[in-house]
A and B are shown apart, each in its own frame.
Chain A
Amino acid sequence: MTEIIKPIFSVDDLRISFATHDGEVEAVKGVSFSINPGECVGIVGESGSGKSQTFMAAMGLLAKNGRAKGDIIFQGHHLLSLSTAELNRVRGKNMSMIFQDPLTSLTPHLTILEQMREVSSLHMDLSREETDRLCAQWLDRVRIAESKRRLNQYPHELSGGMRQRVMIAMSMLCQPSLLIADEPTTALDVTVQAEILDLMDELKRESGTAIALITHDMGVMARMCDRLHVMRRGEYVEEGLTEDIFYNPQHDYTKMLIDSMPRIDSPDRQHNKNQMPIDESVSGADFLKVDDVKVHFDVTVGGGLWPKKLPLKAVDGVSFELRKGETLGIVGESGCGKSTLARSVLQLIPPSAGSVCWLGKPLNGLKKEELKDKRKDLQIVFQDPLASLDPRMTIADSIMEPLQTFSSLSRSEMKEEVLKMMDRVGLDRNMQNRYPHELSGGQNQRVGIARAMIVKPKLVICDEAVSALDVSVQAQIIQLLMDLQQEFQLSILFISHDLAVVREVSHRIMVLYLGRVIELAKSEDLYANPVHPYTQQLISAVPVPDPKIERERKAIKIPGELPSPMNPDAQLKFLPSKLKTEKKGYLPKLLEHSPGHFVAEHDALDQLLAQD
């Protein structure tokens, strides 16, 4: 190497601290690194590790109580010593940033075009027409169809994936030399994530823009990054080329991160979560039988003087059975009705049609009092552990509450039960008088599980129960759930958008698409031999935390956006051949493909890929 590459972005002994009521808290403790032109550098770490703050400091976006010391040099500018006016000439122009939550990151009352124009008027010397042409070009480049129409729309008229594309287009408008992406795909569905990542990779190669990618997802890292920094508690514990880190991790923390990442390509991790064997000859019909359940909501559509109310079919005819001690995974992208289905099973949302039978007796149509007795056996664990606990109750009180409803124990006996359950889910007994905000996300989810388990239910619904947690905590919680399942012969409906996690825990898996079952099969069967094109697409979109495998894999892209559930032809997205022959409103039937493996009617994948 004779030629020395000069880094465009370098950080030298950066320290960031926040003044809080409990004194100075150091979030970043002396970090140094650099980014070369045109490379993608990943910063990986769990929540609270300080991985975003480094770049927030560079962009001048630290919270008011934050202080940064050290040096950040970008193209010769010492960013930390620039005034806001000087920084405004750099950020958005040579260095731009996209954020985790595309839904809230665009100004709601300005059209896409107005927001993009703002960037060009600040940093470029272009006429109105040139600007508008450039904006349209960029929307085309980030593959937003009908760019002219989209430009004049407001953010709320676009889907999450499209908004993130707009964010990317907007930040690429001035051809920056560094794009900082802070968890750019974390809030998006896997198929959308795959497209956004492809797009970023393409931009990196075509325009030579360097990318700093901040994420907790080792799979995304494996796909995108040239080099990696592993960050933990404000420090880099390991850094190096992506391959080296994945295949030869040195630090225990890195090993732990790679190890706890659920993998869609192999269920056999080093510590396999011993899944409970179930007797497959038994039918689930007399345990939990869900028959043709539909949940429709009325939504107001269209403007005009007389807006119409149409039914939104959130769940549209779902049937399944669940055996005792079995885990059924329910997967699907956002809006597919998986949470609504769970809630209608519990009668939290009464189904519009169809029946739910529990131990041979129907649950729907019961009076409030009768239903209350059944609720003892049917519990649910929610996604956001902090938000689903009462902030004014101590965790012991929260765990005890179901006991007060369902048991006749004395208060001291209940207390004893609560303490035992806390031991069981791995919560320290002396935490009993703490409040939810004093606990970590993982601890709060343990509280949520303890609250559900204290009445010894027969069925627990886990509604995205581990989705908000860091991977290492996620692995522990899953282990806990599986242990509890063994101990109490528990049946679980495990709802998640994360196909890799579902694979680990489920005996059988049901794939939902716009409120209907598209494929239902045994777990290993589904991943080894996915039949429906949508399932194939979903599985191919999940990144694998292994750089070699990940870079060779090709995500399947079926043309077209996810249709609106209000669209009467939405169900025929994978069966377009029926669009011509059948009359409107034809619903694909669920057929038995092989014993125990059900697949909805569909056209062949090749045909679907060939259309457009």
Chain B
Amino acid sequence: MFSFIVRRIGSSIPTMLILILISFALMRLAPGSPFSSDRGLPPEVLANLELKYGLNLPWFEQLFVYLKGIIFDFDFGPSFKYTDKSVNDILAQGFPVTLTYGIWSFVAAVAVGLPLGIVAAVRHNTKLDYAAVGFSIGAQVLPNFVMAPILVIIFTLWLNWLPGGGWNGGQWQYVVMPILALSTSYMASIARITRSSMLEVLHANFIRTAKAKGVPMRNIILRHALKPALLPVISYLGPAFVYMITGSVIIDIYFSTGGMGQFFVDAALNRDYSLLMGVTIVFGVMTIVFNTLVDITYAWLDPKIRL
């Protein structure tokens, strides 16, 4: 198991490097520069700007400086647009916000989706099952840009319980609606995947063996069925978690939370290369990290993978 973990982590490092290289190349290849605008800058000003940000260096030196900054100082360089801020400052401002509502959304999605799926599978073809399936389909087809306004109408306009937007340092009143809007469709997917994989496992031969041994249903589910049934759910949860904590543009814009999603879109529109790359790399690295975690969880759940 230990060597599996080491090997898996070892193999994810080159992936991260390739990710940085590709995003670096894409940014350089994209036409236009952050300083090109309709008015056009005088060449001397442009040269000065390029000197300041190191854009006059050959590409490999730029890459070297950039890589060195990331690896040794975790420094993504200055933002091209917001002259007084570095990429790190912007990440430090936006990331805690998305992390907060992302993690809570994840917890909510798993805490509701998983039991719902299990119950639906165990009570297959009963009213409970139909209700769970109905909820899943409903939640799945409601995208969060529909969900968000509905929540605002109900909780802000009708009931007047919650503020309709803002962050306010993450006070709970401000966090509830982003979490609800973000988590429902994940909740539904988790419930659906759990239900179908649980149903499959419950028909497996080893479940029959467990019944023949006289194991009560509760233990059959917890000891025998749950682990194998979780496998497909886990492989969904890894990427889903990254999506959630890297934030959603819609949530950020609709609830004015000021999270990463908003910065990402702004950066793209502003051609803020260094910010865009910083955000891309952070998202990418997190995807790689959580996929690694998923693989390790897999090995824990399924002894056949532990090699």
Contacts and interface: CB of A to CB of B under 8 A. Distances in A.
The B interface, classified by DSSP as helix, strand, loop or mixed, is helix
B304 A92 contact: no
A99 B205 contact: yes
Given A60-B211, A92-B212, A84 B223 contact: no
B228 A109 contact: yes
B50 interface: no
B209 A99 contact: yes
Interface stretch (B144-152, B173-181, B214-222, B287-295): B214-222
B216 to A, nearest CB: 6
A87 to B, nearest CB: 8
B301 interface: yes
B177 to A, nearest CB: 40
Interface of A: 59-61, 64, 84-85, 87-93, 96-97, 99, 101, 104-110, 118-119, 122-123, 154, 156, 167, 170-171, 300, 303-305, 307
Contact of B206 (A91, A97, A105, A304): A105
Interface string B21-41: 000000000000000000000
Contacts of B307: 300, 303, 307
B43 interface: no
Contacts of B3: 303-305
Per CB-CB distance, the 8 closest pairs between chain A and chain B, nearest first, are A92-B214, A92-B213, A104-B205, A88-B214, A154-B303, A107-B206, A97-B212, A105-B205
Contacts of B210: 107, 118
A59 B209 CA distance: 11
17 contacts: A59-B212, A85-B216, A91-B214, A99-B208, A105-B205, A105-B208, A107-B206, A107-B223, A109-B227, A109-B302, A110-B224, A122-B213, A122-B214, A171-B212, A303-B306, A305-B3, A305-B10
A303 B3 CA distance: 7
A96 B215 CA distance: 12
A61 B215 CA distance: 12
Interface string B244-285: 000000000000000000000000000000000000000000
The A interface, classified by DSSP as helix, strand, loop or mixed, is loop
Contacts of A84: 216-217
Contact of B303 (A87, A108, A167, A300): A108
Contacts of A99: 205, 208-209
A108 B205 contact: no
Contacts of B214: 87-93, 119, 122-123
A226 to B, nearest CB: 24
Contacts of A167: 209
A119 B216 CA distance: 11
B203 to A, nearest CB: 9
B2 to A, nearest CB: 9
A522 to B, nearest CB: 42
Given A303-B3, A305-B7, A107 B303 contact: no
Contacts of B227: 109
B78 to A, nearest CB: 40
A500 B4 CA distance: 46
Nearest to A93: B214
B217 A106 contact: no
Interface in B73-130: 124
B204 interface: yes
Contacts of A90: 214
B84 to A, nearest CB: 47
B120 to A, nearest CB: 15
Contact of B304 (A88, A108, A118, A305): A108
